[in-house]
Amino acid sequence: MNRPLDPVPPPPAFARTDRLAAVLVVAATLLAHAPGLGGGFIWNDADYVTAPALRSWAGLWRIWTEIGVTEQYYPVLHSAFWLQHQLWGDHALGYHLLNLIAHAGCAVMFGLVLRRLAIPGAWIAATLFALHPVHVESVAWISEQKNTLSLMCYLAAAWKYLEFDETRRRGAYAWASGWFAVALLTKTVTATLPAALLVVAWWRRDRLEWRRDVRPLLPWLVTGAAVGLASGWIERHVGGAGGDEFALTWIERGLIAGRAFWFYLGSLVWPFELNFIYPRWVPDVRVWWQWLYPLAALALLAGCWVTRRWSRGPLASILFFAGSLFPALGFVNLYGARYSWVWDHWQYLPDLAPLALLGAGGALIAQRGAGHWRFTAWSVFAMVVALMATLTWQHSRVFRDDETLFTATLRRNPASWMAAGNLAARLASDPARRAEAIGYFEMALRLKPDAAELHEGLGYLLARDSATQAPALEHAEAALRLDSARASAHNLRGMLLVRAGEIDAAIGAFQRALKLEPKLAAAAANLGSALLAAGRPAEAVPVLERAVEFAPTLAAAHLALGDAQRALERTADAERSYREALRLEPAALDGRLRLAELLAEQGRDAEAAPLLREVLARDAGSADAHYQIGRLGLRAGDTAMGVHALREAVRLRPDWPAARLTLGNALARAGDMTGAVEEFRAALALRPNDLGARNNLANALLASGRVAEAIREYETALQQQPDNADIRRNLAFARELLERGTGN
């Protein structure tokens, strides 16, 4: 017969003071973290805030069913981002506000769980958690909603499990299991919860029983282990947490773990040197002092084990802290470890235990001391809270934008190649700061010359300037030598090959990019454009349709698709594509210009003219717009206006044969044969085999009375196309004039 379970003391009744404490914690949290609400998106936030291809209901389905469509397979988190994007789109304030509210909620729930466990100083610990500056990174960084949302679910699961532990009601266990599942699908670090609950059970009763404690948590332990292993595989094989940077022995990983353990405890005690990216030290088994970190951690654990007879709290706290930190101690490959072994946001959940211990210790000191001692203890607590709130306020401002964040990072860690590279990428978005951006890219490459992403980033920046195409190609190829599987680097190389006139090689580069990353919309759009440039519009259309499917908000893909459809004379489809490109980027001139050209080709001059005038109002140097305006003027019978616009087009782009030819025709129509001859000759100099230009030149010479010159041009044209009846007829007429003595 089973022995009856030992009774668990009922949870303490919640008093009005608990509600007041919760309100004060929330208010203090909102106030201290307020500067973070004014921040924008930083670093990899764009990888988390719902991608354009995932914003539909079908995209929501893909979030749950396709590994790799999101930065990490956290479907609950990305579903939350999906919902938020429906509510406030790309406005950062909404995401920041939700994250801050979630953090405040976590602090309150933490306090409530501690109260349920009858741990002294529950609201002291909750306040420390809410205001500690080391948690700013989790609150002010939108991507780290995975921390705040997962911890809320973690604490909800813990609350309901403690209820089950006290009552053995199946409903409470079902709710606890549901919250645990949601937490796992928000962030897998919550897989440590069942182990943490076993620690709590041991702390409460000084023993673990199979029936009471282990058996109910066994399904959680198995599920958590399976999800954790799957997450580790995804992180390594999909998330980029592999390669030489993670080629470590287990002894080296142990050295990292020992040092990281003390680093995180140190950040709790001394949060004055916080940084986004900390120096990535090199573990070396030959350096004696590096062994002190893991040995000291083991000594601390042994000391807590010895003192468990007097107090189980310290040992429980250390076990909870180290166990929750385990995935981030270096034993599991995490992508962020490429840049640093330690990150502030990795200690968000583990901090619960040491803060609970600090809160309990402080409360016991205050409660057991005399009146003046109690006053002193609470005064010290008030000063600590004020100091932490001030530090949190200051640190929150660092996360305003990429430039502020990475500048501050470099100030404290000048060796951070990641910070230098990201600062360069941020500055590169401002054409006026191009030189600064190049300087930071070069700085980053000096720090880490084997970083393929840095070569690629600098290559993209250099590619924007026609004078630096060659070095841009060198950096693209350097990136591919270092990492031949970088689809975006193949895309960059293809772009540069197109500009160099090597269309076939460019097509190969784009195809390689798409083989590596089939849904890379930019590469698909570029491949379609290259196929179009190679005279293969029928092949370009399906490629560009895929690009539009992958990235429905990529205006360049719609624009290129319109070009391909236009080449196939699918004018209605082309018009729809151009209009969609214009809707997506109303300020873009290319879409407006292409649409105007298409409308003009259909004789819809009244619709085309306003579009062209809008282009010229914002870019008076657009040769294409002047050219199209000139053609419209000629078609409307306004030769003077047509000639004026075409002259401007030629002035802006003197090496444009079509503009020269059209201007020559306009001048001939206006009776300016001398000017017409000059333009036709210029067109032929640029395109010697242009039969139409040569025939028009001969006609203009003939009209000018320069018959002998006209005959030479007709004869040259006839050599190019011997069976052209019009040229033969014109040549015969010119020879007849010459025989009659007409002309020179």
Task: Give the pLDDT of residue 13.
Answer: 62
Q: 352, 322, 360: which is closest to 155 by C-alpha?
A: 352
Task: Give the pLDDT of residue 5.
Answer: 45
Mean pLDDT, the chain, integer: 91
Mean pLDDT of 282-298: 96
Residues spanned by the domain of 610? 587-653
Q: Is residue 394 predicted with pLDDT exceeding 60?
A: yes
Count of CA atoms in the C-beta half-sphere (13 A) of 528: 27
The answer to whether 273 and 413 have CB atoms below 8 angstroms apart is no
Q: What is the pTM of this model?
A: 0.84
Query: How far apart are the C-alpha atoms of 706 and 81, rounded to whole Å?
Result: 75
Decide which of 363, 395, 427 is a domain's last residue.
Answer: 395
Task: Give the pLDDT of residue 1.
Answer: 35
Please state the domain count of the chain: 3
219 with 139, same domain: the answer is: yes
Cα-based distances in Å from 165 to 125, 190, 205: 23, 19, 12
Structure tokens at 631: 């053609």
Task: Give the pLDDT of residue 581.
Answer: 92
- Cβ contacts of 605 within 8 Å, gap of 6 or more: 599, 632, 635, 636
147 with 29, same domain: the answer is: yes
Mean pLDDT of 299-303: 96
DSSP 607-660: HHHHHHHHHHHH-TT-HHHHHHHHHHHHHTT-HHHHHHHHHHHHHH-TT-HHHH
Range of weakest confidence among 317-331, 412-426, 586-600: 586-600
Task: Give the pLDDT of residue 723.
Answer: 84
pLDDT band at 3 (very low <50, low <70, confident <90, very high): very low
Task: Give the pLDDT of residue 345.
Answer: 97
380 with 366, same domain: the answer is: yes
596 with 718, same domain: the answer is: no
What length is written for the chain? 744
**110 lies in a domain?**
yes
Mean pLDDT of 471-494: 96
Mean pLDDT of 84-89: 93
Between 732 and 581, the higher pLDDT residue: 581
Diameter of the chain measured on Cα atoms: 132
608 with 670, same domain: the answer is: no
**673 lies in a domain?**
yes
Query: How far apart are the C-alpha atoms of 4 and 277, rounded to whole Å?
Result: 53
Cα-based distances in Å from 171 to 117, 201, 235: 20, 20, 35
pLDDT tens digits for range 621-645: 889 889 889 899 888 888 999 899 9
Structure tokens at 461: 């920046």
Between 713 and 478, the higher pLDDT residue: 478
pLDDT tens digits for range 10-64: 566 667 889 999 999 999 999 999 999 999 999 989 888 877 767 888 889 999 9
683 with 711, same domain: the answer is: yes
**288 lies in a domain?**
yes
307 with 387, same domain: the answer is: yes
Percent of the chain at pLDDT > 90 equals 69
pLDDT tens digits for range 591-621: 889 898 899 889 898 998 999 898 888 888 8
Q: DSSP state, 210?
A: I
592 with 693, same domain: the answer is: no
Helix ranges, 271-416 (H): 292-306, 313-325, 352-368, 371-396, 402-412
Mean pLDDT of 297-310: 94
Task: Give the pLDDT of residue 374.
Answer: 79
291 with 343, same domain: the answer is: yes
Q: Is residue 200 predicted with pLDDT exceeding 90?
A: yes
Query: How far apart are the C-alpha atoms of 744 and 742, rounded to whole Å?
Result: 7
- CATH of residue 646: 1.25.40.10
Beta strands per DSSP E along 95-146: none
191 with 121, same domain: the answer is: yes
**199 lies in a domain?**
yes
**493 lies in a domain?**
no
Q: Is residue 742 predicted with pLDDT exceeding 70?
A: no
Q: Is residue 557 predicted with pLDDT exceeding 80?
A: yes
Q: Which residue has the tokens 């914002």?
A: 618
Q: Residue 90: count other Cβ atoms within 10 Å of its Cβ.
A: 12
Mean pLDDT of 99-119: 97
Q: 611, 616, 636, 618: which is closest to 626 by C-alpha?
A: 616
**38 lies in a domain?**
yes
pLDDT tens digits for range 656-699: 899 999 998 899 888 889 898 898 899 888 998 888 888 888 88
Query: How far apart are the C-alpha atoms of 619 and 587, rounded to whole Å?
Result: 11
Query: How far apart are the C-alpha atoms of 104 and 139, rounded to whole Å?
Result: 10
First to last CA, the chain: 128
Task: Give the pLDDT of residue 12.
Answer: 64
664 with 617, same domain: the answer is: no
**419 lies in a domain?**
no
Q: Is residue 439 predicted with pLDDT exceeding 90?
A: yes
Decide which of 372, 395, 418 is a domain's last residue.
Answer: 395
* Burial class, 728, CB count within 10 angstroms (exposed 0-12 / middle 13-18 / buried 19+): middle
pLDDT band at 184 (very low <50, low <70, confident <90, very high): very high
Q: DSSP state, 291?
A: G
Q: Is residue 255 predicted with pLDDT exceeding 60?
A: yes
Secondary structure of residue 339 in the 3-state scheme: coil
The string over 684-720, giving b where at least 16 C-beta atoms fall within 10 Å of a residue's C-beta and e elsewhere, is: bebeeebeebbbbbbbbbbebebbebbbebbebbbee
Q: DSSP state, 2?
A: P
616 with 725, same domain: the answer is: no
Radius of gyration, alpha carbons of the chain? 35
Dihedral of alpha carbons 730, 735, 740, 744, sign:
positive
Query: How far apart are the C-alpha atoms of 296 and 303, rounded to whole Å?
Result: 10
pLDDT tens digits for range 4-17: 444 455 566 667 88
Q: DSSP state, 212?
A: I
Decide which of 653, 678, 697 is a domain's last residue.
Answer: 653
pLDDT tens digits for range 207-248: 999 999 999 999 999 999 999 999 988 888 887 778 888 889
**294 lies in a domain?**
yes
